[in-house]
Amino acid sequence: MKPSNVKTSQWLQYNFLFFAEHILGEKWYQKAFGSTEKKLYREIEKYASEHPNTDNFRVIEYKKGEYTDPVKDDHCPIVFRGAASDWPCQGKWNFDYFKEKYGHEDVTLVNNPGLIKDTDQAYDVVKFSEYIDNMKQGSKRYLKFSRIVDEQSGLRQDFDYSWLRKFRPAGAQNDLNYFFMGGKNTMTPIHDGFAITIFVQIEGIKRWVFYPTNHRLFIGVRPRRYNYFYSDADPYKLDDPRYPLLKLAQRTEVLLYPGDVLYFPSLVWHQVENVTDSIGVAYKFATLKAGFTSSKMLFLCFLLATKPPLINTFLPWKKDILEYKKPGKAATA
């Protein structure tokens, strides 16, 4: 579905160029179509500036008591305030708890392209206690996509999976938990993922910035043959000359507090910032239908990804959505 403030002809041309870059790669694409793209962007900027966006994209919020079973939407994020407030993880999980009980465990710091800024190290392993000590001393390293919840059965018992699994449609693949712990002001830049995500905020406050799936045009997403997509645009720097259409993007934000649960569908763009020291868990699963519904173009590029290929990321016997490389090599995800 095209953005409401873009002509159909412009949207079709943009998608042709997007797919051409996916096939050709950035170097050959720029040689063949770089000038065409610049001309198209000027035309889109002029038209979109004169035609305000009317898409109904927003964060839907439900207060505690306004819901029982989960509610889903194919395009918009949904916040369930206080949904996990009485789960065992609330109040039990904190930084001291993990240092005391799991401090001896190794944790993986993932620095995949688009998921972290200002680093050339793809992968690192540290003791959990060391990570927590450094975080408390102001380190900006962010523990994300850790598999510790699935590796430690005792942690899984602190969640209400009977409620979480009500989000899963028939045919969903994978049933994975990703653990996030980060200090104040750590963040993950704008990105998406094929999986549907249910995020449980456990400790601290997170700010989520969302964009509609079809606004990849405005936020400057480029196809790089990964099985996810990202942008280096800063949502708060609307005058960045590298992203001339960013000011036209439809941005919406929400804060998550301990006990809140956030649902968002496949391929929705999001940036995540830790307003305070924070702990959270993302429960993820995927369906081909959800990806196709969100974006046919991104769905096609996902199927044709080579970093890694589909067979390594989606099939039900695979245990992980992300694939990590050894230290010193480029990461794929």
Per residue in 179-215, pLDDT tens?
999 999 999 999 999 999 999 999 999 999 999 999 9
Q: Per-residue pLDDT averaged across 317-333, rounded?
A: 40
Domain membership flag for residue 320? no
Distance of CA 153 to the CA centre of its chain: 25
Domain that holds residue 120: 57-312
The Cα 248–Cα 233 span in angstroms is 13
Residues 46 and 163 in one domain: no
Percentage of the chain exceeding pLDDT 90: 80
Residues 162 and 175 in one domain: yes
Residues 5 and 104 in one domain: no
Using the 3D structure, point to which of 13, 36, 54 is the last residue of a domain: 54
Domain membership flag for residue 325? no
Residues 296 and 219 in one domain: yes
Provide the pLDDT confidence category of residue 256 given band limits of 50, 70 and 90: very high
Encode 148-169: b = buried (16+ Cβ within 10 Å), e = exposed: bbbeeeebeebbeeebbeebbe
Residues 154 and 272 in one domain: yes
The Cα 276–Cα 257 span in angstroms is 10
Domain membership flag for residue 194? yes
Provide the pLDDT confidence category of residue 1 given band limits of 50, 70 and 90: confident
127: how many CB neighbours lie within 10 A of its CB? 15
pLDDT value for 307: 83
Encode 52-75: b = buried (16+ Cβ within 10 Å), e = exposed: ebeeebbeeebeeeeeeebeeeeb
Residues 124 and 242 in one domain: yes
Domain membership flag for residue 168? yes
Residues 20 and 116 in one domain: no
Residues 250 and 142 in one domain: yes
145: three-class secondary structure by DSSP: strand
pLDDT value for 117: 57
Residue 152 has pLDDT above 60, yes or no: yes
Pair type for strands 143-146 and 252-256: unpaired
- CATH classification of the domain holding 160: 2.60.120.10
Domain membership flag for residue 319? no
Mean pLDDT of the chain: 90
Using the 3D structure, point to which of 54, 76, 95 is the last residue of a domain: 54
Domain membership flag for residue 321? no
Percentage of the chain exceeding pLDDT 70: 89
Domain membership flag for residue 160? yes
Q: Look at the chain and report how many structural domains it folds into.
A: 2
The Cα 87–Cα 82 span in angstroms is 10
Structure tokens at 169: 């449609």
Residues 124 and 261 in one domain: yes
Residue 104 has pLDDT above 60, yes or no: yes
Higher pLDDT, 114 or 56: 56
Residues 74 and 121 in one domain: yes
The Cα 247–Cα 14 span in angstroms is 18
The Cα 286–Cα 175 span in angstroms is 9
Residue 253 has pLDDT above 70, yes or no: yes
The Cα 325–Cα 112 span in angstroms is 10
Domain membership flag for residue 330? no
pLDDT value for 322: 46
The Cα 116–Cα 190 span in angstroms is 10
Residues 47 and 90 in one domain: no
Residue 282 has pLDDT above 80, yes or no: yes
Q: Per-residue pLDDT averaged across 148-177, rounded?
A: 92
State the Cα torsion 65-209-48-292 to the nearest 10°: -70
Residues 4 and 117 in one domain: no
The Cα 224–Cα 159 span in angstroms is 36
CA–CA–CA angle 58, 62, 68 (5° rounding): 135
Q: Is the dihedral of CA 290, 292, 295, 299 positive or negative?
A: positive
pLDDT value for 329: 38
